[in-house]
Amino acid sequence: MKHIRLLGLLVLTVMALPAQATVFNTVQLDKSRLGFTFKEMGVAIKGGFSRFNAQLNFDPAKPTAASAVIDVDLASVDAGSPDANDEVAGKLWFDTKAFPHARFVSSAVHALGGNRYEAIGTLTIKGRSRTIAAPFTYAGQGATARFDGGFTLKRADFAIGEGEWADFSTVANEVQVAFQIQAGQSAARK
Amino acid sequence: MKTGTTNTRYTRTAIALHWLMAVLILGTFGVGLYMHGLHLSPFKLRIYSWHKWAGVTAFLLLLVRLAWRATHRPPALPLSISLWQRQAAHAGHGLLYLLMIAVPLTGWLMSSAKGFQTVYFGVLPIPDLLAKNKELGDQLAAVHEWLNYTMIALVAGHAAAAVKHHLFDHDDVLIRMAPGLGRRLKNEEEQK
């Protein structure tokens, strides 16, 4: 009897373990931001996207097994001014009618030491895909975690800004992308 | 009328600054009028930058000019000019100086409010006094425009007055600010 009770306790403990593990898998979009900075005639301009979706799975106990998929609604761009927003949605830039979304799919996460990591993945914009590496920091605070990071992309790699804009003397090739993602833990474990 | 020829003309530096400013003001004003309606293109981005750089240059030149003026007394207006006209001339010049300060300042402020920092020649960033704010940016744009029209109206009046003095009053008000030309005309006059 005593053994059975002990066995039962053990089974319960084992069953309870995964439920206690901290896995951040619910992105809180209203507390997450996706922005970028680029240079125009030597002037730094800030922009961002107000609509994007992110699926995340980050277990602090196994960070290198983490994964992320981020979908960006390119029509939600803020490129610094109403003029620029109209222009950037057009064919020469994002061509949002033909390519409404940008997508990042992670393939690996490396630990860089401390709370620093690096997500490797494929970024697809305007039908062109490139492998990118995005370093980020992880900061867990109880039930929520923040992931702050960024990377630099070259707009020419994705044909962002063609024709008269292809030249980098007015709008620079390099675009610094920055993300701040806040995530919580979902009630039900998968 | 000609007493103390050294005092009747502006200094060479003052003349050079005056005409450099005239070219900059008219050019920058013209570019400002033209660029406003342009469709967004690399050319528009470039011309906006040129306009801002020209504005910053005009402002810096104005500071030099004010410093020069403070240390070099301009020649007095001929006594043949009535008192009210002399007062009107001084008031007009004062207002022009104020506008030459206010126009580039509002341009810089509106640029900041619209979210575009002014970077002199694409190299030297001028700090933003205002944070990005669309409504404020639009208001400052209206103020910048209105001040510009006022300034250009004053410049036109200023030029018309100078021409009037030359053609109708036959005094040396225009000549004393004329680059190089003045000395030659004066010599001719003296030879008569």
How is residue A58 annotated by DSSP? B
Confidence at residue B172, expressed as pLDDT on a 0 to 100 scale: 85
DSSP chain B: ----HHHHS--HHHHHHHHHHHHHHHHHHHHHHHHTTPPSSHHHHHHHHHHHHHHHHHHHHHHHHHHHHHHSPPPPPPTTS-HHHHHHHHHHHHHHHHHHHHHHHHHHHHHHHTT--EEETTTEEEPPSS---HHHHHHHHHHHHHHHHHHHHHHHHHHHHHHHIIIII--STTGGGSTTHHHHHHHHHHH-
Confidence at residue B7, expressed as pLDDT on a 0 to 100 scale: 59
Token pair for residue A35? 């922005």
CB distance B119–A43 less than 8 Å? yes
Overall average pLDDT of the A83-90 stretch: 94
| Chain B residue with the nearest C-alpha to that of A47 | B115
The verdict on pTM exceeding 0.95 is no
What proportion of chain A, given as a percentage, has pLDDT over 70? 87
Q: Name every chain A residue with its beta carbon within 8 A of the beta carbon of B128.
A: none
Residue with tokens 């920058």: B28
| φ, ψ of residue B182 in degrees (nearest 5) | -55, -50
Token pair for residue B73? 């007394």
B38 touches chain A (CB under 8 A): no
pLDDT digits (tens, 9 = 90+) for B87-133: 999 999 999 999 999 999 999 999 999 999 999 999 999 999 999 99
Average per-residue pLDDT for chain A = 90
- Spell out, as residue ranges, where chain B has pLDDT lower than 70: 1-7, 181-192
Q: Name every chain A residue with its beta carbon within 8 A of the beta carbon of B116.
A: 40, 43, 45, 80-81
Given its phi and psi angles, is residue B176 left (phi above 0), alpha (psi -120 to 50 degrees) or beta? Answer: alpha
> Is residue A2 over pLDDT 50?
yes
- Closest Cβ opposite residue B40 in set A42, A84, A167: A84
Please tell me the distance in Å from A184's CA to the nearest CA on chain B. Answer: 32
B123 touches chain A (CB under 8 A): yes
CB distance B122–A43 less than 8 Å? yes
Please tell me the distance in Å from B147's CA to the nearest CA on chain A. Answer: 24
CB distance B41–A43 less than 8 Å? no
Confidence at residue A90, expressed as pLDDT on a 0 to 100 scale: 96
Token pair for residue A119? 């997500």
Closest CA to A189 of A26, A13, A14: A26
pLDDT digits (tens, 9 = 90+) for A38-55: 999 999 999 999 999 999
> Is residue A156 over pLDDT 90?
yes
CB distance A167–B42 less than 8 Å? yes
ipTM above 0.85, yes or no: no
